[in-house]
Amino acid sequence: MTDKEEKTPSAENPPDDVMHASVLKLAWPIFVQALLAMFLGYADTLMLSGYNQTAVGAIGNANQILGFLTLAFTIISSASGVVVAQYLGAKQKDKINQIYTVCIAFNLMVSLVISLLVFFGSKMLLTLLHTPTEMMPDAISYMKIVGGFIFLQAVLDTMSRIFQSNGKTVFGMVISLGINVINVGGNYLFLYGPLRALGLGASGVAVSTTISRGVGLLMAFVLFGLFIDGKISVRYLRPFPKDILKTLLRLGIPTAGESISYNISQLFVTGFVNTLGIVAINTKIYAGILSNFAYLYSISVAMATTIIVGHAVGAGDYDFAYRRVNKTMRSALVISVAIACVNFFISPFTFGLFTANPDIADIRPQIMALGQQVMFIAIFLEMGRTSNLVIINSLKASGDVKFPTYLGIVAMWGCSVVGGYLLGIVCGFGLRGIWVAMAADEIVRGIVVAIRWRRGTWRGKRVVSD
């Protein structure tokens, strides 16, 4: 069979339900899950804000470190989605159980090492971040508890990828909902309810977060056992399937490297903005919150499309994958740009809400004016970002991981960082110049990957062996 030949469904080769699933059907649970994950990230901070402001800063510092360290176990979790989807698409289920087990085992091993590092080195890590002395006790206790059990999140992330690759995106949403409910309820008990008498504060919030993740992981294994056609067992590690781990690392390391590079580059961009004063700093924060709505839509549709592309490439049906991505691109661009346009037109109202505090009345007009200008630039940024999210993730789902990774690193540093510094700082355009540079980064990458997708360089790069 050639790359462009399509397999005809038959009794021996039944149609792939996931491959032919609606993008919207797969995407909406991912969208809700992403919203819930975002809320979970803010829940501890929001609920602590009414309890102790020092504790808010403490967990903010702790989460900044934990967020960076968690990039280590995204190496396997990101690659697992690609490999599982392709093997399911190829209907090579004989290796699926090994893949499931290797993914879980490797991420568990890596995350246990990180857990020990955080538990015993929390004070050192917080000191390196220049955490204020008054925040240290709360920050250390929070890091020891949440970071000490970070392996729960690592395994949970891997299970979520497995569910998505099987087309069960709703499972991740249900688990996220359960985690949020338990976490918020636990926070209330420790901060404002009967357990407040214990005076645990940030430690209580950490316990609540950890328990909610533990329950979420238990839910994940129950759902896996009931609804996923596969098993996870140590017997699939004997003899150890080195070829599977090698494939996972080959796909995962470039992706993780890109994520690390992006996070570091954003630290530089944030540093540039911090030199521009409170107006620029606050405007960036508010603009980022508003832009998240368009981003969440785009990433949800992109993730749903990669599931389908993975199955199609695994089945050797490259033409189907090509058409599916092109179709998704057209609709995603229209909707994400429409959201960005709405954000621009209502920005006087939304930025007015953000700046309603009388304490900042003197800078309110400046923030509102700058915010509207930035949201206009964001329309063009969203055009590029939508193309990136859909096509780059589809390239990776096909097994073409190195090119988009190298392109991303060059563009984000060349455009966002260097361009942001030149336009924003040297040329004096401030936040407007920095936003233009970030838009240029997205647009340049969007154009380049669109050309690569059209040329079909990604065909034939699947990871499934015939």
Cα–Cα distance, 402 to 181 (Å, whole number): 39
Q: What is the pLDDT of residue 199?
A: 84
What crossing angle do the helices spanning 150-165 and 96-128 adopt, rounded to 10°? Answer: 140
pLDDT reported for residue 465: 73
Q: Which helix (H) or strand (E) holds 257?
A: helix 242-274
Residue 240 pLDDT: 92
Q: Which residues 6+ apart lie within 8 Å of 30 measured at CB?
A: 164, 169, 172, 173, 299, 300, 303, 304
Write out pLDDT tens, residues 132-145.
888 889 889 999 99
Instruction: Specify the pLDDT at position 300.
Output: 95
What's the pTM value of the predicted model, to 2 decimals? Answer: 0.88
pLDDT for 132? 80
Q: What is the pLDDT of residue 264?
A: 86
Q: Where are the domains of the chain?
A: 23-240, 254-455
Give the pLDDT confidence score for residue 20 in this predicted structure: 81
Give the CA angle between residues 402, 264, 144 to the nearest 5°.
Answer: 110
C-alpha triplet 314, 317, 319: angle, nearest 5° = 135
Question: Which residue numbers in the chain have pLDDT < 50?
Answer: 1-11
DSSP state of 459: T
At 391 the pLDDT is: 96
Across the chain, mean pLDDT equals: 89
Report pLDDT for 5.
42
